[in-house]
Amino acid sequence: MPSIGPMELIVVLVIALLVVGPRKLPALGRSLGAGMREFKDGVTRSDPRPTLGEPDDEPPATTR
């Protein structure tokens, strides 16, 4: 599998500049960075749901 070199990155950036435009490119970069950061936080965040074997904080409700 070939790796992406500096020439390929330059070509992709030039095409993005032509498609999006120079004024909206920084906003697009910020939006992409925020989305990646949110995805990373969602993946690395611990699961708040209890797993099997962990006691619950609340006692079970009793019905009469």
Question: pTM for this structure?
Answer: 0.50
Q: Give residue 31's pLDDT.
A: 93
Supply angle C-alpha 1, 16, 11, rounded to 5.
Answer: 45
pLDDT along the chain (64 residues), means of 10: 86 90 89 92 73 61 70
Q: Give residue 58's pLDDT.
A: 64
Q: In which region does residue 3 sit, left (phi positive, over 0), alpha (psi from -120 to 50) or beta (all else)? A: beta
> Which position has the token pair 């950036």?
13
